[in-house]
Structure 1
Amino acid sequence: MNRYVCIHGHFYQPPRENPWLEAVELQDAAYPYHDWNERITEECYAPNMAARILNAEKKIIDMVNNYTKISFDFGPTLLSWLERFKPEVYQAILLADREGQSKFSGHGPAIAQIYNHIIMPLANFRDKRTQIIWGIKDFKYRFKRLPEGMWLPETAVDLETLVILAEKGIKFAILAPHQAKRIKRIGENAWQGVNNGEIDTTMPYLCKLPSGKTIHIFFYNKPISQDIAFGGLLSNGEMFAKELLNAFKETKRAQLVHVATDGETYGHHHRFGDMALAYCLYYIESNNLAQITIYGEYLEKYPPTHEVEITEFSSWSCAHGVERWRNNCGCNTGIHPGWTQAWRAPLRRAMDWLRDALIKVYQAQISLYVKDPWQIRDDYIEVILDRSRQNIENFFSLHLIKEITKQEKIKVLKLLEMQRQAMLMYTSCGWFFDEISGIETVQIMRHASRAMQLAKEISGRDFEHNYLKILEEAPSNNPRFKNGAQVYEILVKPAIVDLLRAGVHYSLSSLFEAYPETTKIYCYTAKKQIYHSLEAGKQKLGVGKVKITSEITWEEDIITFAVLYLGNHYLNGKAKPDIKKEEFLNMYQEIKNAFIKSDISEIIHIMDRYFGPTNYSLWHLFKDQQRQILNKILESTFQEIEFSFRQIYERYYPIMQLMKDIETALPKSLCSVVEFIIYTDIKRILESKEMELDKLQRLVEEAKKWSLKLDKTTLSFVASNKINTLMERFSQRPQDILLLENIEKLLQILSDLALELNLWKAQNIYFSIGKQLCIKMQDKAKQGDEMASKWFSHFNTIGSYLKVKCV
Structure 2
Amino acid sequence: MEKYVCIHGHFYQPPRENPWLEEVELEESALPFHDWNERITAECYAPNAASRILGNDRHIIAITNNYSKISFNIGPTLLLWMKKHAKETYEAIINADEESKKRFSGHGSAIAQAFNHMIMPLANDRDIRTQVYWGLKTFESNFNRKPEGMWLPETAVDIRTLETLAEFGIKFTILAPHQAARYRAIGAQEWQDASGAKIDPRLPYLCNLPSGKKINIFFYDGPISNDVSFGGLLVNGEKLANRLIGCFSDSKEAQLVNIATDGETYGHHHRYGDMALAYCLSFIESNNLAKITVYGEYLEKYPPNHEVEIIDGSSWSCVHGIERWRSNCGCNSGLHPGWQQEWRKPLREANDWLRDKLSLLYEEKAKDIFSDPWKARDEYIRVILDRSDDDVYAFLEEQSCKKLSDEEVVNALRLLEMQRHAMLMYTSCGWFFDEISGIESTQVMKYASRAIQLASYFTDSQLEAKYLSILEKAPSNIEHIGNGRKAYEVYVRPSQVDMLRVGAHYAISSIFEEKQEDIDIYCYNVQCDRFEKVRAGKLTLCAGEASFFSNVTFEEKEIAFAALHMGEHNVLSGLKVHSGNGEFEDLISKMKEALKIGDISTLVQLMDDFFGTHNYTLRHLFKDQQRRVINYIFEEPLHNIIDVVFRGILESNYTTMNFMKEIGTPIPKPLEKVAEVTLNADFLKLLNYNTFDLKTLKGVAEDAKRLDIPLDRDAIGLASSSLVDTFFAMLKDKPFEIEILSKINDTLDLLNELKLPLYLWRAQNVYFHLTKDAYPKVKEQLDEKDADRWAELFRKIGECLDVRVG
CA distance in 1, matches of 2:779, 2:251: 52
Q: Give the structure 2 partner of residue 313 of structure 1.
A: 313
* Residue-by-residue CA offset, 1:188-228 (whole Å, 9 max, x unaligned): 11111111111010010000001101000000000000000
Structure 1, residues 215-268: CA drift from partner, whole Å, max 9, x if none?
000000000000000001000000010010001111110000000000000000
Counterparts in 2 of 1:396-795, with a 5 A limit?
Answer: 396-514=396-514, 517-642=517-642, 643-777=644-778, 785-795=784-794
- Deviations for 1:361-408, whole angstroms, at most 9, x for unmatched residues? 000000012111110001000011111111111111111111121101
Q: State how many pairs are aligned.
A: 805
- Do the aligned partners of residues 589 and 785 (structure 1) sit closer, same or farther apart at CA in structure 2, a change above 3 Å counting? same
What is aligned with 2:48? 48
- On the 8 A contact 2:429/2:440 being kept in 1, the answer is yes
The whole-number CA distance in structure 2 between the counterparts of 1:730 and 1:486 is 54
Change (3 A) 1:680 1:514: closer
Distance 2:336 2:36 in 1: 22
* Cα deviation 1:130-171 (Å, max 9, x = unaligned): 000000011111111110000000000000100010010000
- The sequence identity of aligned pairs, in percent, is 52
Q: Is the 8 A contact 2:114 2:153 kept in 1?
A: yes
Which region of structure 1 is more displaced relative to structure 2, 96-105 or 595-604?
A: 595-604
Match of 2:94 in 1: 94
Aligned counterparts, 1:261-300, within 5 A = 261-300=261-300
Partner of 1:111: 111
Aligned residue type for 2:41: T
1:346 is aligned to 346
Distance 1:262 1:700 in 2: 40
- For residues 408-454 of structure 1, the C-alpha deviation after alignment (integer angstroms, 9 at most, x for no partner) is 11111100000000000000000000000000000000000000001
Once residues 114 and 613 of structure 1 are traced to their aligned partners in structure 2, the CA distance between those partners, rounded to angstroms, is: 44
Deviation of 1:730 after TM superposition, in Å, equals: 1.1
Task: Output the amino acid matched with 1:787.
Answer: D
Residue identity in the other structure for 1:804? V
Helix, strand or coil for the counterpart of 2:482? Answer: coil
SS in 1 for 2:458: helix
Deviation at 1:559, TM superposition (A): 1.2
Q: Shift of residue 614 of structure 1?
A: 4.2
CA contact (8 A) 1:533 1:542 kept: yes
Counterpart of 2:605 in 1: which secondary structure? helix
Name the amino acid aligned to 2:218. F
The aligned amino acid for 2:701 is V
Partner of 1:798: 797
Q: For residues 52-71 of structure 1, give each alpha carbon's deviation from its aligned partner in whole angstroms, at most 9, with x where no partner exists.
A: 00001100010000000000
Secondary structure of 1:206 counterpart: strand
Match of 1:190 in 2: 190
| Matching residue's letter, 2:559 | I
Does the 8 A contact of 2:94 with 2:142 survive in 1?
yes
One-letter code of the match for 2:665? Answer: T
Shift of 1:462: 2.4
Determine helix, strand or coil for the equivalent of 1:61: strand
Structure 2, gaps ≥5 residues long:
none
Specify the SS of the correspondent of 1:502: helix
**Following superposition of structure 1 onto structure 2, how do residues 200-239 of structure 1 map, counting pairs within 5 Å?**
200-239=200-239
Residues 266-313 of structure 1, C-alpha deviation per residue, up to 9 Å, x if partnerless?
Answer: 000000000000000000001111000000000000000001000000
Q: Is the 8 A contact 1:97 1:109 kept in 2?
A: yes
The residue aligned with 1:14 is 14
1:197/1:724 Cα in 2 relative to 1: closer, same or farther (>3 Å)? same
Is the 2:511–2:540 contact (alpha carbons within 8 Å) kept by the matching residues of 1? Answer: yes
Residues 155 and 174 of structure 1 are in contact (CA less than 8 Å); yes or no, is this contact kept in structure 2? yes
1:147 counterpart residue number: 147
Cα distance, 1:657 vs structure 2:
2.9
SS in 2 for 1:579: coil
Deviation at 1:623, TM superposition (A): 0.4
Corresponding residue SS for 1:458: coil
Partners of 2:178 and 2:197 within 8 A in 1: yes
**In structure 2, distance between residues paired with 1:329 and 1:384:** 36
After TM superposition, give the deviation of residue 785 of structure 1 in Å: 1.1
Say which SS state the counterpart of residue 46 (structure 1) adopts.
helix
* Paired letter, 1:232: G
Could you tell me whether the CA contact under 8 Å between 1:455 and 1:461 is conserved in 2? no
> 3-state SS of the aligned residue for 1:689?
helix
Structure-to-structure mapping, 1:306-385, within 5 angstroms:
306-385=306-385
Provide the rounded CA distance (Å) in 1 between the counterparts of 2:469 and 2:349: 11
Letter in structure 2 aligned against 1:155: T
- Provide the secondary structure at the position in 1 that maps to 2:437: coil
Alpha-carbon separation, structure 2, partners of 1:514 and 1:111:
48
- Aligned equivalents of 1:474, 1:553: Cα separation in 2: 33
Instruction: State the distance in 2 between where 1:119 and 1:792 align.
Output: 57
2:162 maps to: 162
Deviation at 1:778, TM superposition (A): 6.8
The residue type paired with residue 85 of structure 1 is H
| Shift in CA distance, 170/515, structure 1 to aligned 2, threshold 3 Å | farther
**Conserved in 1, the CA contact under 8 Å of 2:685 and 2:692?**
no
Equivalent in the alignment of 1:128? 128
In structure 1, how many angstroms separate the alpha carbons of the residues matched to 2:692 and 2:328? 58
> 1:374 & 1:293 partners in 2: Cα distance?
39
Measure how far apart 1:86 and its partner are.
0.7
Contact 1:182 1:191 in 2 (8 A): yes
Q: What is the rounded CA distance, in whole Å, between the counterparts of 2:775 and 2:397 in structure 1?
A: 59
Residue segments in structure 1 that go unaligned for 5+ positions in a row: none
SS in 2 for 1:752: helix
Distance in 2 between the 1:69 and 1:84 partners?
Answer: 25
Q: Report if the CA contact (8 A) 2:206-2:214 is conserved.
A: yes
Contact 2:121 2:157 in 1 (8 A): yes
Question: Which digits, 9 at most, give the CA deviation of each residue in 1:37-65, with x for residues without a partner?
Answer: 00000000000000000001100010000
Whole-angstrom CA distance in 1 between matches of 2:209 and 2:514? 62
Distance 2:613 2:326 in 1: 44
In the alignment, the residues of structure 2 paired with residue 94 and residue 661 of structure 1 have an alpha-carbon distance, to the nearest angstrom, of 58
Could you tell me which amino acid in structure 1 is paired with residue 741 of structure 2? L
**Counterparts of 2:183 and 2:689 in 1: how far apart (Å)?**
66
* 1:779 shift after superposition: 8.7
* TM-aligned CA deviation for residue 512 of structure 1: 1.1
- Determine the C-alpha separation between the residues in 2 that align with 1:90 and 1:775: 31
Shift of 1:515: 5.3
What corresponds to 1:253 in structure 2?
A: 253
Q: Partner letter of residue 474 of structure 2?
A: A
Decide whether the 8 Å contact of 2:8 with 2:258 is kept in 1.
yes
SS of the residue corresponding to residue 718 of structure 1 reads: helix
Letter in 2 for 1:700: A
The 8 Å contact of residues 657 and 707 in structure 2, kept in 1 or not, is answered as no
The Cα of 1:554 is off from its aligned counterpart by 0.6
Q: Separation in 1 of the partners of 2:662 and 2:202? A: 70
TM-score, normalised with respect to structure 2: 0.99
Distance (whole Å) between structure 1 residues aligned to residue 801 and residue 226 of structure 2: 33
Q: Write the letter of the residue equivalent to 2:522.
A: Y
Q: Deviations over 1:751-771 (max 9, x none)?
A: 221211111111011101111
Task: Supply the AA of the counterpart residue of 2:664.
Answer: E
Helix, strand or coil at the partner of 2:616: coil
CA contact (8 A) 1:97 1:110 kept: yes
SS in 2 for 1:253: coil
Alignment check: 8 A CA contact 1:414 1:458 kept: no
CA deviation map 1:638-664 (0-9, x unaligned): 112111111111112232233234332
3-state SS in 1 of match to 2:564: strand
**TM-score, structure 1 length as denominator?**
0.98
Structure 1 Cα separation of the partners of residues 165 and 289 of structure 2: 35
* Greater shift in the superposed pair: 215-224 or 657-666: 657-666
**C-alpha spacing 1:688/1:100, structure 2 compared with 1 (3 Å):** closer
CA–CA distance in 2 between the matches of 1:577 and 1:699? 54
User: What letter is aligned with 1:472?
Assistant: E
For residue 613 of structure 1, report the CA deviation from its aligned partner. 4.2
